[in-house]
Amino acid sequence: MSHAAQAPARIVIVGGGHAGMNAARSLRTTLRSDEATVTVIDPRSYMTYQPFLAEAAAGSVEPRHVVVPLREVLPGCEVLSGEAAGVRPDERKVSVEVADGHTRQIGYDVLVLAPGSWSKTMPVPGLAEHAVGFKTLGEAIYLRNHVLSRLDAAASTLDPKLREKLLTFVFVGGGYAGVEALAELADMAGAASDYYGTIGRDDMRWVLVEAAGRIMPEVSEGLGTYTLNLLRDVGFETHLNTTVESIEDGYVKLSDGTGFDADTVVWTAGVAPHPMLADTGLPLDGKGRVRCTPELRVEGQDAVFAAGDCAAVPDLSRAPTEICAPSAQHASRQAELLSKNVAALLRGGRLRRYKHAYAGSVASLGLYRGVAEIYGVKLKGKLAWALHRGYHLATMPTAHRRVRIAFDWLLSLPFRRQIVALGELHQPRREFDRASAGSRKD
Ligand SMILES: Cc1cc2nc3c(=O)[nH]c(=O)nc-3n(C[C@H](O)[C@H](O)[C@H](O)COP(=O)(O)OP(=O)(O)OC[C@H]3O[C@@H](n4cnc5c(N)ncnc54)[C@H](O)[C@@H]3O)c2cc1C
């Protein structure tokens, strides 16, 4: 496929997250505008830097600073607000439900699939009604307001059983997303409790439930055990080899026989590839990811590439039968190679294989506490926490966003973080509806 002397090739990217946004940025700098047009389809107008979600929920970082507006960082690309609903590779078309409610068919010469993943849910009674995920900025902001509003409600109730329920917070899934969210929100709620005369840190119950026999599979077993002990030492309740059996009427029943009322259940029990992939006719692996060659091409397809959480890419740094784990690190690096390979395809060059040895993981467990494992070196405590901040600050897109985040952190040194529940953000029409109802009665 050489497009050098023809009309520009149409490159369509589904998803503007870690993989899609980085691929688009890199394609735009690699290919001239007379070689290719680049269209990015995403229902959100921004990329979410998920490793900072826990800090955004805890109020250490301003939520707007952890997202990257696509139109700001993708000059020269078309950004189409919509959700890809299906792909027909035989006709080279993507069907998109665009923001105005219509469905459009978008033709492509090269397609890049990067719609990421969804929260992996289970058929647990009451889950859909009572739990919330932790993958989006909306969920992070909601959780912050929700946790703080539980403190407000607990401080005002005269019912001791209700107070206990309001002050019980359950996190299901002990990967870094769940552990970071639990530790950061508990830290924030602990700081907030100083302002309530009637709620102490020990009045809150923070529970972590994990189906496996260990937490943090992203780090070595030793560091996972260290993290578990640290969580237990600071008072978190942990249940390993345990699943949630039901969450009916706010009563959480665990498989180890434990049961309690809880008003907050956060579901972070892993991710599943985006379900739209199932209807594409493209080859999928057992977990529902698109099967890719090491060149990041979808198997059996000349013009379809994939990267990030939705893609089953052989991990050549381990063994060809191993698949790259879903991580921001792989997604961004795959995006870089993918854009070079798409350029090579259009220019008639040679495609290269993806091989990246995972550098390691860093995680924050609340202010000044963290764990890290970098190229096999294990670190914990303040140093690991500083490394977490330093690493993610360095990989956050755009210089001005890095400066804003650094200032958020600096400002929290002389001033305490701002503790305020803005729950009304989730019901913006409530006050006006009440006013309108009142005026109808008059
Ligand atoms: C709380 C949390 C913390 C994490 N911390 C770390 C960490 O410390 N280190 C690390 O390496 N990884 C971390 N991860 C994992 C990492 O964020 C993901 O692996 C990474 O974002 C995957 O990139 P992606 O581009 O595949 O998906 P995403 O970045 O999720 O992007 C997918 C994009 O596709 C869009 N999209 C979805 N559906 C459609 C559709 N139908 N049509 C068009 N667009 C669509 C979405 O709106 C989104 O913008 C964390 C994840 C979470 C949730």
For 297-321, write each residue's pLDDT tens digit.
999 999 999 999 999 999 998 887 8
Q: Which atom of ligand 1 is nearest to the CA of 19?
A: 25
Cβ of 116 less than 6 Å from ligand 1: yes
Cβ of 329 less than 6 Å from ligand 1: yes
What is the pLDDT averaged over residues 102-106?
96
Cβ of 130 less than 6 Å from ligand 1: no
Please say which residue of 347, 372, 395 terminates a domain: 347
17 C-alpha to center of ligand 1: Å? 6
278 and 253 belong to one structural domain: no
Residue 418 has pLDDT above 80, yes or no: no
233 and 379 belong to one structural domain: yes
pLDDT confidence of 84, banded at 50, 70, 90?
very high
19 C-alpha to center of ligand 1: Å? 8
Please indicate, yes or no, if residue 440 is contained in any of the structural domains: no
368 and 343 belong to one structural domain: no
Per-residue model confidence (pLDDT) at position 5: 55
Q: Which atom of ligand 1 is nearest to the CA of 46?
A: 49
Q: Which atom of ligand 1 is nearest to the CA of 274?
A: 38
Q: Contact at 8 Å (CB) between 92 and 303?
A: yes
- Residue 129 CB coordination number (10 Å): 11
Per-residue model confidence (pLDDT) at position 442: 65
Residue 4 has pLDDT above 60, yes or no: no
Per-residue model confidence (pLDDT) at position 357: 82
CATH number at residue 54: 3.50.50.60
Cβ of 306 less than 6 Å from ligand 1: no
41 and 108 belong to one structural domain: yes
Please indicate, yes or no, if residue 49 is contained in any of the structural domains: yes
For 126, which DSSP code? T
Cβ of 217 less than 6 Å from ligand 1: no
CATH number at residue 200: 3.50.50.100
What is the pLDDT averaged over residues 75-83?
97
- Structural tokens at position 221: 């077993």
Strands 311-312 and 304-306: unpaired
What is the pLDDT averaged over residues 75-88?
96
Q: Which atom of ligand 1 is nearest to the CA of 307?
A: 26
211 and 64 belong to one structural domain: no
What is the pLDDT averaged over residues 390-415?
92
- Among the listed ranges 17-21, 332-336, 369-373, which one has the minimum average pLDDT value? 369-373
Q: How many domains does the chain have?
A: 2
| AA identity, residue 83 | E
| Phi, psi for residue 230 in degrees, rounded to 5 | -65, -45
Residue 101 has pLDDT above 60, yes or no: yes
- Alpha-carbon gap, residue 51 to 53, rounded angstroms: 6
Cβ of 126 less than 6 Å from ligand 1: no
Per-residue model confidence (pLDDT) at position 344: 97
Residue 3 has pLDDT above 80, yes or no: no
255 and 190 belong to one structural domain: yes
Please indicate, yes or no, if residue 436 is contained in any of the structural domains: no
212 and 69 belong to one structural domain: no
249 and 281 belong to one structural domain: no
Supply the range of the domain harboring residue 244: 127-269+360-411
191 and 103 belong to one structural domain: no
- Alpha-carbon gap, residue 274 to 289, rounded angstroms: 8
Please indicate, yes or no, if residue 416 is contained in any of the structural domains: no
Cβ of 135 less than 6 Å from ligand 1: yes
Per-residue model confidence (pLDDT) at position 29: 95
Cβ of 16 less than 6 Å from ligand 1: yes
Q: Which atom of ligand 1 is nearest to the CA of 330?
A: 11
Farthest-apart Cα atoms in the chain, separation:
77
Residue 189 has pLDDT above 60, yes or no: yes
Q: Whose CA is nearest to atom 49 of ligand 1?
A: 17
Please indicate, yes or no, if residue 332 is contained in any of the structural domains: yes
Candidate ranges 144-158, 262-276, 427-441; pick with highest mean pLDDT = 144-158
Per-residue model confidence (pLDDT) at position 2: 55
What is the pLDDT averaged over residues 229-250?
94
Please say which residue of 293, 325, 347 terminates a domain: 347
275 or 3, higher pLDDT: 275
Cβ of 52 less than 6 Å from ligand 1: no
Q: Which atom of ligand 1 is nearest to the CA of 54?
A: 1
What is the pLDDT averaged over residues 225-251?
94
- Alpha-carbon gap, residue 206 to 299, rounded angstroms: 45
Per-residue model confidence (pLDDT) at position 420: 73
148 and 74 belong to one structural domain: no
Per-residue model confidence (pLDDT) at position 119: 86
For 4, which DSSP code? T
For 353-369, write each residue's pLDDT tens digit.
999 887 788 888 888 88
Measured over the CA atoms of residue 285, residue 278, residue 117 and residue 397, the dihedral's sign is positive
254 and 390 belong to one structural domain: yes
Q: Contact at 8 Å (CB) between 94 and 276?
A: no
- Residue 400 CB coordination number (10 Å): 9
Cβ of 115 less than 6 Å from ligand 1: yes
Residue 376 has pLDDT above 90, yes or no: no
Residue 183 has pLDDT above 90, yes or no: yes
Please indicate, yes or no, if residue 430 is contained in any of the structural domains: no
15 C-alpha to center of ligand 1: Å? 9
115 and 220 belong to one structural domain: no
